[in-house]
Structure 1
Amino acid sequence: MPSSPRPVTATSATLGFFQCAVPAGFPSPAADHTQKRIDLNEHLLLNKDATFLFRVTGESMRNIDIFDGDTILVDRSLTPRHGHIVLAIVDEEFTVKRLHQRDGVVRLLAENPAYASLEFKDGQELRVWGVVTCGLRKLLNA
């Protein structure tokens, strides 16, 4: 059984938030630069007592921009549904995949064609541990 993760510690974390779009193409000289403060807990967490952080290893989800070394937020209070990205336990190991549930068939789909999807047959156990709600990636290691 994988080790028991601890919930995210939801301390007060507020950052300045500029209420203007930041163009990735041509800048707009007329942008409104109004600033306010936002609480990252309110912005990122749906249920702080049921949210956990995990570090991703591997490249099976790269086509949906979840890369090796990224951090994901996983909420255990959400009901997993078809199409959700989930953290699952398969053969006593955690894995991140897209949940596929159609016509009595359950699969965990990789989002990288180099990786096989997992299909479950009668008698095999799949435990969906939680639903991935957010991915975080550092762009600069300072």
Structure 2
Amino acid sequence: MISLKSNPLTFFNPEPTNDTLGAAFFDTGISCGFPAPTEDFGEQQHLSLDTELVKNRETTFYARVSGQSMIGAGLDDNDLLVIDRSIEPANNKIAVCFLDGEFTVKRLRVDVDGIWLKPENPNYPIIHVTEENDFVIWGIVTNVIKKV
């Protein structure tokens, strides 16, 4: 099971900063195939990852992944998740949930028969959520930030 290492009171919420420029950004289209010559990098621009990744600052938080149950969805141990609490939970979305005293991130399966939390690793079981569970959906994963 993947759990989030943070307590709900210590999640990082991005605060507004005076640095509205962000990091340097070169919009040249870096080739993933054969290298392509470029005449020059042109004018330097700035890019803020908050602008790119956060749609609603008041309801978005970051949390780090711990575990392997979502590797099939591209969520690996120590990845940083961008989670938005304003997005409506829906079938097939990846959600951060609080289940029986623990945080977990799983793919939601919702149908007329109930709610399931589906891992993206066959070594982990699907969890059927029942009325007996203490269950809250904290937010929907919108992006993942990886270190290479």
TM-score, scaled relative to structure 2: 0.83
Q: Which residue of structure 2 lines up, in the alignment, with residue 127 of structure 1?
A: 136
Opposite residue 8 of structure 1, the aligned amino acid is P
- Structure-2 separation of matches of 1:120 and 1:8: 31
Deviation digits for residues 113-134 of structure 1 (CA, Å, limit 9, x no counterpart): 1111111234434210111111
What are the ranges of 5 or more consecutive residues in structure 2 without an aligned counterpart? 1-6
Deviation digits for residues 7-62 of structure 1 (CA, Å, limit 9, x no counterpart): 22243361222222222221122577344212222111011111111111000011
Q: Which residue of structure 1 lines up, in the alignment, with residue 146 of structure 2?
A: 137
SS of residue matched to 1:33: coil
Q: Which has the higher contact order (CA 8 A, sep 6+)?
A: 2
Quick one: which of 75, 85, 90 aligns to 2:94? Answer: 85
Structure 1 segments, 4+ long, off by >4 Å, are none
Quick one: which of 5, 8, 16 aligns to 2:24? Answer: 16
Q: Kindly, what percent of the aligned residue pairs are identical?
A: 32
Opposite residue 52 of structure 1, the aligned amino acid is F
After superposition, the Cα gap between the structure-2 partners of 1:27 and 1:6, relative to the gap in structure 1 and judged at 3 Å, is closer
TM-score, scaled relative to structure 1: 0.86
RMSD between aligned alpha carbons? 1.9
After superposition, the Cα gap between the structure-2 partners of 1:132 and 1:10, relative to the gap in structure 1 and judged at 3 Å, is farther
Q: Which residue of structure 2 lines up, in the alignment, with residue 113 of structure 1?
A: 122
- Structure-1 separation of matches of 2:71 and 2:145: 13
- Structure-1 separation of matches of 2:31 and 2:77: 27
Q: How many residues align?
A: 138
Query: Contact 1:10–1:41 (CA<8 Å) still a contact in 2?
Result: no
Q: Which residue of structure 2 lines up, in the alignment, with residue 7 of structure 1?
A: 13
SS of residue matched to 1:42: helix
